[in-house]
Structure formats: structure tokens, C-alpha cells
Amino acid sequence: MYVCLCKGITDNQIREAAHQGCGSLRDLRRELGVGGQCGKCVREAHEVLRDTRALTSAQSQAAATYGGPHSGATPAMPVMPIMYVPQPA
């Protein structure tokens, strides 16, 4: 989806820029030109950037918790309560 019509920048381009290290609207403007003309795209570009950073952060935390997909570590299993069920004699 086009976010910046003046520059022809899509949400995927903004996500890719975020993955490459763009962390602010200033970075996006410098790298892609987003918001550099009419400015109508700034809010949407900021939302895409924010959502991408939040998702990347959550994925990093999950990788740190579980050691990543190639670590060989097994994710912690939830602890299930053990219930004692008396058996008939």
C-alpha cells in the first residue's frame, strides 16, 4: 500500500527501512524522502514505523527467551497442575 504518494513510497519500503535501522521519521525522510513534500503521509509513516519496531522488539524478546530458532533450546513448557484422582479399590 502506498503511504507517501508524493514519493511513491509503500509500507513495505518503510518496514524494510526500519529493519535496516531507520528508527525515526527523520531517518525515513533522509533515506526514502517520506514526508518531504506535502507531509500528508507523516502520520501513516509513523504508524508503520512504530508497528514495525514493536513487532521487531517482540520478536527479539522471544528469541532471547527461547534462544532463537537455531539454538537447539526447547521453549519452556507451561507448568500444568497435577491432579490426584483416587482410583477405586
- Asked whether position 25 contacts ligand FES by CB under 6 A, the answer is no
Cβ burial, residue 84 (10 Å; 0-12/13-18/19+): exposed
Q: How far apart are CA 53 and CA 69, in angstroms?
A: 20
Of the chain, the end-to-end C-alpha distance in Å amounts to: 68
Q: Among 19, 26, 40, 50, which residue sits at the site for ligand FES (rule: CB under 6 A)? A: 40
Interface region with ligand FES, contact rule CB under 6 A, candidates 1-9, 10-18, 52-60, 74-82? 1-9
- Asked whether position 41 contacts ligand FES by CB under 6 A, the answer is yes
User: Which residues have CB under 8 Å from 2's CB, separation 6+?
Assistant: 8, 9, 10
For ligand FES, give the closer residue by CB, 39 or 68: 39
Q: Among 12, 23, 26, 39, which residue sits at the site for ligand FES (rule: CB under 6 A)? A: 39
Chain residues in the site for ligand FES (CB under 6 A): 4-7, 34-41
